[in-house]
Amino acid sequence: MNYSFLSSPKVKKIGIWGLIALGVLPQLPLIISWFLGIDSNWNHIAEHLLPKLLINTLSLVLLVVLGAGLIGTLLAYIMSHYRFPGHRWLNWALLLPLAIPAYVMAFVFLGWLDYSGLIQTQLRAWGVNMTWDARQGYTSLVIVLSLMFFPYVYGVLKPNFERTYPEMDIQAAALGAGPWRRFWRIQFPLAFPSLFLGMMLVMMETLADYGTVSIFNTPTLTTAIVSAWQDFYSLKLAMQLASLILLVAWTLFMVDHWVKVSRPRVLNKWQKITPTTLKGYQAWSIFVLVFTIFSISFLLPFIQLLYWAIISDQSFTDSKYWSLTINTLGLGLGAMVVILSVAVTFELLKRDLQAGRWIQRFSQLTLMGYALPGNVIAIGVLGILIGLEHQFGLTSGWLSQSIWVLILVLSLRFFILGQGPVSNGLRQISPQMIQSAKSLGASPLRLSTKIYLPLLKPGLIASSGLIFLEVMKELPATYMLRPFDWSALSIYTYELSLEGNYEGAALPALLLVLLGILALWVSQRRRR
């Protein structure tokens, strides 16, 4: 087939705006909802619910970003600057909390810490009366969410901390700055944009979280969206509430933009730092610290799930677990392929067109899906597709009830996870390199296989792992949009836990976690 028409700038321009339009699709219903009039329940909500919702949401976002930021930064510093026993495997094991779905983590934690939980029950049996209410206030909720989300900060920050800038270091040392001061004044500020990216991911995850806050029964904007729909039967109201989340996300992106332009450009002259090898008691105390965080955030919950799965009435040999696993795997791979190929196409187009301000600004909008709860995106896209079916007289479900729609929606939700690494990767490929390759007569195919792919590969592999993880954990959109008689591990976990059957839910949850470990292992293998 002849693809030469693709080279025309006009086609490329249409292509890029087409992709942007697709990317902002889920936000349209949110904006349109305001043109349908103010919902009649706004007064009631503003008077009785909104103040608390806003306070809860903002406090959680701030506290979690603080908690996850501190843990993530600390670990990134330790893992980049020191070597100690266990460093090799902890290096990637610290990403494992990402493999545990939020709602699973929440019920495991309450299973231990709540009044009727393991620890307090045992203490009472020993005559110790503890009156701590684990669900009250923000403390345990913030702990759970921070432990779940710190790997985002850790993951993006560590590569930056592994760099040192010899020229500056030498000058600073000459001026009498010690190693600690040099870190704070040189490495840290230069890594700040990455830290901010990590924190932004954490903030957006927290904003979109429904599973954890609903298990703690702490009302937030996300739970309010669901209850606007369930309690007030008003999709309009739900969309209007969701647009508040969108507003917060927009603000975050503007701050991110400001952070990027107001910081000095990262200098090219960096070297990999030489880590200090710790010995004796220092080595062991660092190991204990890191291992403790790893245990609380992954190992212990994992063991708990394992235990529940063993005592439950669910059996691993049941054939339905095969199909659930295959479906989950297929969905993850599908979304991964779509996100990464669209991200590469998108970024290449932007680069070819030397995209101006407008394209840059608008392309940022395609990343907002990450802050929106899955059901908001799902219902928006569903409405549009069913509308199209009506328009073209198609059988219902032809568009709206296929695995493709689900993949589309999940891709819209998690596009940021592909776009980031791809655009970072492309930045390393200088246009001159491409020009000289072309002038030497390299064919497009050769350009891709010899230059683009190898240079993009590390980023692509790392982000494919993350995308896979997020997609397989996702629940609301998957639950709403899946085809008939089609289920996945996340759905089955949810359906079993719905009736409080946590032991039963542990088996599919455990399979989810195992798939997640696999995905992380594959994506991290090259980096080790």
Applying the rule CB under 8 A, the residues between 376 and 405 that interact with another protein are 379, 382-383, 386-387, 389-390, 394-398, 400-404
Nearer to another protein, 256 or 352 (CB): 352
Q: Which of 375, 463, 493, 523 binds another protein (CB under 8 A)?
A: 375
Cα three-residue angle 493-494-497, rounded to 5 degrees: 85
Q: List the interface residues with another protein, window 435-474 (CB under 8 A).
A: 444-445, 447-449, 452
Q: Say how far apart CA 470 and CA 100 lie, in whole Å.
A: 10
Closest approach of another protein to the CB of residue 423, in Å: 15
Query: Is 32 among the residues that bind another protein (CB under 8 A)?
Result: no
The one-letter amino acid at 7? S
Q: Which of 40, 171, 230, 435 binds another protein (CB under 8 A)?
A: 230
Query: Is 312 among the residues that bind another protein (CB under 8 A)?
Result: no
Long-range Cβ pairs for the range 341-347 (8 Å, 24+) = 342/19, 342/411, 342/415, 342/418, 343/415, 343/418, 343/419, 343/422, 343/423, 344/422, 344/452, 344/456, 344/460, 345/15, 345/19, 346/16, 346/19, 346/419, 347/419, 347/422, 347/423, 347/426
Q: Say how far apart CA 378 and CA 412 lie, in whole Å.
A: 10
Residues 6+ apart with CB under 8 A from 196: 255, 256, 259
The stretch near another protein (CB under 8 A) out of 61-69, 211-219, 293-301, 416-424 is 211-219
Closest CA to 163 of 138, 182, 135: 182
Closest approach of another protein to the CB of residue 383, in Å: 6
# residues contacting another protein (CB under 8 A): 77
Cα three-residue angle 257-263-267, rounded to 5 degrees: 120
Nearer to another protein, 299 or 429 (CB): 429
x/- track of binding to another protein for residues 324-343 (CB under 8 A): ---x--x---x--x---x--
Q: List the interface residues with another protein, window 122-151 (CB under 8 A).
A: 124, 133, 135-136
Query: Is 195 among the residues that bind another protein (CB under 8 A)?
Result: no
Query: Is 498 among the residues that bind another protein (CB under 8 A)?
Result: yes
Nearer to another protein, 349 or 368 (CB): 349
Closest approach of another protein to the CB of residue 229, in Å: 5
Residues 6+ apart with CB under 8 A from 274: none
Query: Is 235 among the residues that bind another protein (CB under 8 A)?
Result: yes
Closest approach of another protein to the CB of residue 462, in Å: 20
Q: Which helix (H) or strand (E) holds 350?
A: helix 319-352
Counting beta carbons within 10 angstroms of the beta carbon of residue 256, is it exposed (0 to 12), middle (13 to 18) or buried (19 or more)? middle
Long-range Cβ pairs for the range 429-434 (8 Å, 24+) = 429/455, 431/351
Query: Is 362 among the residues that bind another protein (CB under 8 A)?
Result: no
Nearer to another protein, 161 or 216 (CB): 216
Antiparallel, parallel or unpaired: β 82-83 and 276-277? parallel
Nearer to another protein, 76 or 376 (CB): 376
Q: Say how far apart CA 472 and CA 214 lie, in whole Å.
A: 20
Closest CA to 367 of 525, 126, 222, 204: 204
Query: Is 112 among the residues that bind another protein (CB under 8 A)?
Result: no
Nearer to another protein, 20 or 93 (CB): 20
CB 418 within 8 A of CB 19: no
Query: Is 40 among the residues that bind another protein (CB under 8 A)?
Result: no
The stretch near another protein (CB under 8 A) out of 232-240, 250-258, 364-372, 506-514 is 232-240
Closest approach of another protein to the CB of residue 5, in Å: 10
Q: Say how far apart CA 461 and CA 463 lie, in whole Å.
A: 6
Nearer to another protein, 10 or 528 (CB): 10
Query: Is 6 among the residues that bind another protein (CB under 8 A)?
Result: yes
Counting beta carbons within 10 angstroms of the beta carbon of residue 339, is it exposed (0 to 12), middle (13 to 18) or buried (19 or more)? buried
Nearer to another protein, 84 or 502 (CB): 502
Q: N- to C-terminal Cα distance for the chain?
A: 41
Q: Which of 54, 112, 458, 495 binds another protein (CB under 8 A)?
A: 495
Query: Is 13 among the residues that bind another protein (CB under 8 A)?
Result: no
The stretch near another protein (CB under 8 A) out of 91-99, 161-169, 220-228, 268-276 is 220-228
Q: Say how far apart CA 527 and CA 523 lie, in whole Å.
A: 8
Query: Is 423 among the residues that bind another protein (CB under 8 A)?
Result: no
